[in-house]
Amino acid sequence: MKKRFKILMLGVLVPLLSLSSCSDEFLDAPSENQLTPSDLPEGITAFDGIAESLYFKPWFTFNDKFLIAVGDMYAGNAFTFDGAYAQFKDGQVTSQNPILTEGYTSLFSVVDQSNNLMKLVEERKSELPEASYKSSISIARFMRANAYFYLVRTFGAVPIVAGAGTAAQPKRNLVDDVYKFIKLDLEYAIANLPDTSAKKGYVNKTVAMGILAKVHLTLKEYTAAAALTQQVMGKYSLISEYGNLFSSPENNNSAESMFALQWKAIATQWGTQNTNQAYIVPAGTGITGGGDGWGVYLPSISLISMYDAKDVRKTKTIMTDGDEYPELLIKSGGFKYKKILSATGANFRKYIVGSAAERNDVFFMRTSQNTIILRYSDILLMHAEAIMAGAASTSDGAALSAFNAVRTRAGLATKSILTRDDLFNERRLEFALEGQYFFDLKRRGLAEASAIVAQQEVGFYSDDARTALISRKITPNANFFQLPLPQSAIDTNPSLLEAPVSYNFQ
């Protein structure tokens, strides 16, 4: 076979596998480049190329706006004046919201591409070594599980699409069944992924265990979560420089990173890159060196107030008045932040990489900075949470050891008693702007989470001195913690309005 794999460029497979399937109709999503088994060249298996694309391309619009809009802005970590995000800022997201629709479609695209990969691998099973076959299926099922984990936590009951060629208008399935489906995928991945990653940045058995632990934690299955996090402990480590996790692509896939979206900034291509810097850089500062950098996401006053002055994460997460960043605008002698740049008196620092003049992997709205979905500090804090098992506090040594490891890296004093508030406040600071806060709030229970949201200051300052507060607080309604299904999905598949049904696992 002499055909060239035309979509492999510079060692990076850019377009996605998209075999025709009825699930495309259900998603109402445009089909991407067609790829059939005959297109695969000698020496290139589905695992080598198509599986690699599952680490970035189908996640693009999920990462572009949805993750931060839902995970941080909607929950009270971020403020904005940008109209596209107004519903998330105001806590009143409707089914017509385009960001909601993009995220939903992106996550189902991950499901669709994972199913298509499995179909292709099954068709070529006789040509693949057993290890390659199992790894390919495991990667696909791992990715599908992660997509469904975001879908079910965000939207509640959603259709389970288990294979390419699924009925065009599937019904929603019970939430319990969606979680069972997620567990089955992750358990298969744990059983069949290699102990060590096949390639730097690829997932392995331990990573799947970490995601499954979070699923158990979400379901308050604390014993199972604690057992899994215990098995992961020590197989990764915290890196010393917290900021290197988010603002230096050369440190992608560090010893702390477990599962991350692997972005590639390519000047001539769209959808392979991380766009976050464009939305985060303070407007008018020139930090990107181009026409982007709009300061769309601003830290909320509530988030800013959470930081201890000694917390080394603060300047790596947010910029406040007088903070200096010699690594930005290097030719100008560095960048010194002034609170006049933001109506909340601060801007985010995470995911700012720099300019094209300073780096060769930065273009307009494009960086190669990974988006980390799971990292080792999360394992440590999940372990402490699992041991607490919903209690108000604990003095358990293992829980304190895990929790204090994160505190120590942050430059903060250790604790001898860990309270529920301590744990979740630590998570809020550790994972700010990483799309986790909304889901962490949900794990606290709706009554407790609603009370927390109602107390948060999510207003802004109206004067240049940033002292005249225009206060604003959100009062969550009964449906606050389950976002509506996109209207476009309902229009395509009216059965989504019907009551969820049990899924047939046979």
| Secondary structure (H, E, C), 276-327 | HHHHHCCCCCCCCCCCCCCCCCEECHHHHCCCCCCCCCHHHHEEECCCEECC
Mean pLDDT for 404-433 is 98
Mean pLDDT for 203-231 is 98
Instruction: Give me the pLDDT at residue 45, please.
Output: 55
Instruction: List the one residue out of 291, 24, 289 whose CA is nearest residue 164.
Output: 24
Instruction: Give me the pLDDT at residue 50, please.
Output: 76
Beta bridge partners of 363: 366
Both tokens assigned to 6 = 């035309």
**% of the chain surpassing 90 pLDDT:** 84
Instruction: Give me the pLDDT at residue 8, please.
Output: 27
- Alpha carbon distances (Å) from 453 to 41, 205, 217: 54, 36, 21
Instruction: Give me the pLDDT at residue 305, please.
Output: 98
Q: Give the confidence band of 40 by pLDDT, cuts at 50, 70, 90.
A: very low
Instruction: Count the alpha carbons within 13 Å of 483 in the hemisphere toward its beta carbon.
Output: 32
Q: Give the confidence band of 47 by pLDDT, cuts at 50, 70, 90.
A: low
Q: What is the pLDDT of residues 126-144, one digit of tens each?
A: 888 888 889 899 999 999 9
Residue 166 has pLDDT above 80, yes or no: no
Mean pLDDT for 367-384 is 98
Report the CATH fold assignment for 21-31+41-193+483-497: 1.25.40
DSSP state of 339: G
Long-range contacts of 25-28 (CB under 8 A, 24+ apart): 25/168, 25/492, 26/108, 26/159, 26/161, 26/166, 26/167, 26/168, 26/169, 26/170, 26/492, 26/493, 27/105, 27/108, 27/109, 27/112, 27/489, 27/492, 28/105, 28/488, 28/489, 28/491, 28/492
Model pTM?
0.92
Both tokens assigned to 163 = 């294979």
How far is residue 483's CA from residue 494's CA, in Å, rounded to a whole number? 18
How far is residue 198's CA from residue 47's CA, in Å, rounded to a whole number? 10
Instruction: List the one residue out of 74, 376, 391, 422 whose CA is nearest residue 220.
Output: 391
Instruction: Give me the pLDDT at residue 39, please.
Output: 42
How far is residue 23's CA from residue 187's CA, in Å, rounded to a whole number? 24
DSSP helix/strand/coil, 347: strand
Q: What is the pLDDT of residues 239-274, one digit of tens each?
A: 999 999 999 999 999 999 999 999 999 999 999 999
How far is residue 88's CA from residue 76's CA, in Å, rounded to a whole number? 9
Both tokens assigned to 142 = 């791992």
Residue 24 has pLDDT above 50, yes or no: no
Instruction: Give me the pLDDT at residue 254, please.
Output: 97
Residue 449 has pLDDT above 70, yes or no: yes
Mean pLDDT for 211-216 is 98
Mean pLDDT for 165-189 is 93
**Can you give the three-state secondary structure of 430-472, one letter per residue?**
HCCCCCCHHHHHHHCCHHHHHHHHHHCCCCEECCCCCCCEECC
DSSP helix/strand/coil, 186: helix
Instruction: Give me the pLDDT at residue 168, please.
Output: 74
Contact (Cβ atoms closer than 8 angstroms) between residue 208 and residue 186:
yes
- Alpha carbon distances (Å) from 501 to 172, 360, 365, 497: 6, 51, 42, 12
Q: What is the mean pLDDT of the chain?
A: 91
**% of the chain surpassing 70 pLDDT:** 90
Q: Domains of the chain: which residue ranges?
A: 21-31+41-193+483-497, 276-366
Instruction: Give me the pLDDT at residue 38, please.
Output: 46
Q: Give the confidence band of 33 by pLDDT, cuts at 50, 70, 90.
A: very low
Residue 325 has pLDDT above 50, yes or no: yes
Instruction: Give me the pLDDT at residue 25, please.
Output: 43
Mean pLDDT for 81-106 is 96
Residue 156 has pLDDT above 80, yes or no: yes
Residue 466 has pLDDT above 90, yes or no: yes
Instruction: Give me the pLDDT at residue 48, please.
Output: 61
How far is residue 402's CA from residue 384's CA, in Å, rounded to a whole number? 6
Instruction: List the one residue out of 293, 266, 304, 317 whose CA is nearest residue 434.
Output: 317
Q: What is the pLDDT of residues 196-205, one digit of tens each?
A: 998 899 999 9
How far is residue 192's CA from residue 382's CA, in Å, rounded to a whole number? 24
Both tokens assigned to 404 = 């204090």
